DNA sequence: ACGAAACATGAATCACCTTTCATGTTGGCC
DNA sequence: GGCCAACATGAAAGGTGATTCATGTTTCGT
């Protein structure tokens, strides 16, 4: 249960330092994703990165610090991919569509995302929570705006964001990660969209359900 | 990446053996849930269980075997809780309601479920997948039946089951596990139900959407 | 081109963990 | 009450891996 704040190493001051650090990060991502945190050793990471064992400690204070860094990096990348994809959409439904497509595509290309985030539960609950919070707040903001425009029904954007995020997560796990195809089957995608449409549709389906 | 099939130890033949084994399982659940798989050592488990180190190997072949057993046990219990709660419901919506309520209640009482299942990703992908598959198949069957009765709209029960399962999972994580209250706030629960209702409602909200 | 700071190295240290095993102890059947 | 299999024990063997450090090498501002 190490809750100690490891004071992070200062950023590299030379080009060489930056290069080595980047190599270590990339190697760490690969190792964490393939063998998992428990079996990921510093030796393995440094070997894959092609640097000496001691070099690791020049750049990181320990295994947890580099793990955190890897998570933050992946998180940033997936959010960027999703928002880039959905920002051009004309309406909310279209934005959902593009956002989810981007998410599944990212998952297909970087299975490390799932595999690593799920381990963060113990390794580093703070960064894990941060990851979900970050995705969620962008998502909730989008829903909120759409609600203002009357494109979707009135609901708590935060709850909706978490629920939809969860739906996407498990669908991605089941059909992108676990299926050999490596990309989501179109019918599954359409089904998911139909569910989302139903959930967000402006007209409440049961009559007279007002707050 | 140990993929070896560890031949499991035979079941205990005396009452004492069974008792010890149970103590070890309970201790393992606690340890895995509090410190996580990487930091969970056999010593820790046996100490908590109050038995000698060597005794562990009388009952289990190693760390992975007891982990698998713990996961299977938790999985069985949560499924049992959910199906017991939802089986008496008069219709599908009510069944959803009771099922989710039971799930959140179980989560509140056994945070170990989440914490442990999420680690299974690497420790033991098979049991993890089994857990989700098991929940899902029951869920999908329920949806299928409801669809036959016309209570919910026509959709792929499997996709719907995974999507809803995911929604529940993240909502539970966010509001049961992460919030100090320890139980889901009623408004959040109602919001989730509203989303589910919308997603499953028999009348497609966008007109003329027929297959 | 020089020198100080930054960086890289890998052998050595240290802490801890898994697993075995020879030896006792207990449970329950006759 | 006696006996055998089942069970429990904990010391010890054998590993593994994280982290340190004294020592070289490179970078870069001047």
Same domain, B148 and B189: yes
Q: Note the pLDDT of residue A197.
A: 96
Residue A1 pLDDT > 70: no
Does B175 score more than 60 pLDDT? yes
Sign of CA dihedral A142, A145, A149, A152: positive
A65 half-sphere exposure, CB direction, 13 A CA radius: 17
- The answer to whether position B136 is within a domain reads yes
Query: What's the average model confidence in pLDDT over B66-81?
Result: 97
Pair (A53, A79) in one structural domain: no
Question: Is residue A121 within 8 angstroms of chain B, CB to CB?
Answer: yes
Which positions in strand D are less than 7 Å from the protein's CB atoms?
5-12, 16-22, 26-28
Distance B11 CA to D4 C1' (A): 19
Mean residue pLDDT of chain B comes to: 92
- Would residue A8 count as lying in a domain? no
Q: How far apart are CA A135 and CA A158, in angstroms?
A: 11
Report yes or no on B205 lying in a domain: no
Are B170 and A159 in contact (CB < 8 Å)?
no
Domain contains A205: no
pLDDT above 70 covers a percentage of chain B that reads 93
Same domain? For A88 and A31 the reply is no
Tokens (6 digits) for A65: 């610090």
Check whether residue B81 and residue B129 sit in a common domain: yes
Which of A60, A82, A98 is the C-terminal boundary of a domain?
A60
Q: Is B96 in the same domain as B41?
A: no
| CA dist A57 → A17, A28, A201, B160 (Å) | 12, 14, 53, 47
User: What is the domain-level CATH number for residue A18?
Assistant: 1.10.10.60
B1 touches chain A (CB under 8 A): yes
Number of structural domains found in chain B: 2
Strand D reaches within 7 A of the A42 CB: yes
What SS3 class is residue A52? coil
Q: Which residues of A45-80 are buried (b: 16+ CB within 10 A; e: fewer)?
A: bbebbebeeebbeebbeebbbbbbbbbeebbeebbe
Structure tokens at A39: 């079996």
- What does the pLDDT average to over B164-174? 98
> B73 and B50 in one domain?
no
Task: State the burial class of residue B105 (Cβ atoms within 10 Å of its Cβ: 0-12, 13-18, 19+).
Answer: middle
How many Cα atoms within 13 Å fall on the side-chain side of residue B186?
0
- Put residue A11 in one of left, alpha, beta given phi > 0 → left and psi -120 to 50 → alpha: beta
**Chain A contact for B185, CB < 8 A?**
no
Chain B contact set for A35 (CB, 8 A): 1, 122
Using a 7 Å cut-off to protein CB atoms, list the covered nucleotides of chain C.
5-12, 16-22, 26-28
Q: pLDDT at position B161, please? A: 98
Task: Decide if B100 contacts B83 (C-beta within 8 A).
Answer: no
Q: Are B51 and B106 in contact (CB under 8 A)?
A: no
Same domain, A97 and A21: no
Q: How far apart are the first and last CA of chain A?
A: 44
Q: Is the CB of B38 under 7 A from strand C?
A: no
H helical segments located in B110-149:
112-123, 125-148
Residue A88: φ, ψ to 5°:
-85, -5
In tens, the pLDDT along A36-51 reads 999 999 999 999 999 9
Cβ of A43 less than 7 A from strand D? yes
A125 in reach of chain B (CB within 8 A):
no
Q: Is the CB of B118 less than 7 A from some atom of nucleic acid strand D?
A: no
CB contact under 8 A, A123 and B36: yes
Shared domain for B43 and B79, answered yes or no, is no
Q: Do B119 and A123 touch (CB under 8 A)?
A: no
Main-chain dihedrals φ then ψ at residue B140, nearest 5 degrees: -60, -40
- pLDDT exceeds cutoff 80 at A90: yes
Q: Which residue pairs from B65-69 have beta carbons closer than 8 angstroms and sit at least 24 positions apart in sequence?
A: B65/B6, B65/B8, B65/B9, B66/B24, B66/B25, B66/B28, B67/B28, B67/B32, B67/B37, B67/B116, B67/B120, B67/B123, B67/B124, B68/B124, B68/B127, B69/B25, B69/B28
Which residue matches tokens 């985030």?
Answer: A117
Of the residues B60, B76, B98, the one at which a domain ends: B60
Same domain, B182 and B144: yes
* In chain B, % of residues over pLDDT 90: 88
The answer to whether residue B209 sits within a structural domain is no
pLDDT in tens, B74-94: 999 999 999 999 999 999 999
Strand D lies under 7 A from the Cβ of residue A200: no
Q: Pick from A38, A173, A202: which is nearest to B37 by CB?
A: A38
State the smallest CA–CA distance between residue A17 and chain B in angstroms: 30
Question: Does residue B76 form part of some domain?
Answer: yes
CATH number at residue B105: 1.10.357.10
Distance from the Cα of A80 to chain B's closest Cα (Å) equals 21
Report pLDDT digits (tens) over A29-38.
999 999 999 9
Distance from CA of B205 to the nearest CA of A (A): 6
B133 and B56 in a common domain: no
Indicate if CB(A141) is under 7 A from strand C.
no
| Residue B94 is assigned to a structural domain of this protein | yes
B12 CB and strand D closer than 7 A: yes
Full domain range(s) for residue B127: 64-200
Mean pLDDT of B46-68: 97
Tell me which protein residue sits closest to nucleotide C18, measuring alpha carbon to C1'.
B42
Say whether residue A160 is in contact with chain B using an 8 A CB cutoff: yes
**Statement to judge: residues A91 and A112 lie in one domain:** yes
Q: Which of B37, B60, B83 is the last residue of a domain?
A: B60
- Say what the pLDDT of residue A47 is: 98
* pLDDT score at A207: 45
Q: What torsion, rounded to 10 degrees, do the Cα atoms A16, A21, A23, A27 define? A: 160
Question: Could you read off the pLDDT of A167-209 as tens digits, one per residue?
Answer: 999 999 999 999 988 899 999 999 999 999 999 998 754 444 4
Strand D within 7 A of B25 CB = no
Q: Residue B207: what pLDDT?
A: 45
Write the pLDDT tens digit of every residue in A156-174.
999 999 999 999 999 999 9
pLDDT at B211 over 70: no
User: How many C-beta neighbours within 10 Å does residue A186 have?
Assistant: 8
Is there a contact between A197 and B206 if contact means CB atoms under 8 Å apart?
A: yes
pLDDT tens digits, residue range B185-210? 999 999 999 999 999 998 754 444 44
B191 vs A119, A129, A159: nearest CB: A159
Q: Are A188 and A104 part of one and the same domain? A: yes
The reply to whether B153 falls in a domain is yes
Residues of B in contact with A119 (CB under 8 A): 118-119, 121-122
Query: Which residues, 6 or more positions from B139, have their beta carbon under 8 angstroms from its beta carbon?
Result: B99, B161, B164, B165
B115-158, pLDDT tens digit by residue? 999 999 889 999 999 999 999 999 999 999 999 999 999 999 99
């Amino acid at each position: 249960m190490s809750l100690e704040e490891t004071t992070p190493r200062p950023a590299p001051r030379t080009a060489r330092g930056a290069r080595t650090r980047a190599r270590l990060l990339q190697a760490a991502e690969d190792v964490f994703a393939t063998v998992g945190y428990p079996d990921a050793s510093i030796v393995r990471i440094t070997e894959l990165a092609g640097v000496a064992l001691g070099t690791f400690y020049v750049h990181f204070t320990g295994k947890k610090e580099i793990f955190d860094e890897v998570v933050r990096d992946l998180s940033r990348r997936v959010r960027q991919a999703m928002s880039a994809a959905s920002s051009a959409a004309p309406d909310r439904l279209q934005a959902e569509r593009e956002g989810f497509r981007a998410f599944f595509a990212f998952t297909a290309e970087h299975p490390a995302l799932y595999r690593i985030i799920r381990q963060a539960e113990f390794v580093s609950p703070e960064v894990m929570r941060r990851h979900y919070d970050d995705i969620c707040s962008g998502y909730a903001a989008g829903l909120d705006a759409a609600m203002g425009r009357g494109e979707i029904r009135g609901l708590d954007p935060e709850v909706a964001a978490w629920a939809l995020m969860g739906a996407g997560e498990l669908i991605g796990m089941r059909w992108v990660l676990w299926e050999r195809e490596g990309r989501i089957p179109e019918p599954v995608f359409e089904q998911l969209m139909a569910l989302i449409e139903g959930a967000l549709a402006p007209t409440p389906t049961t009559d007279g359900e007002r707050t």
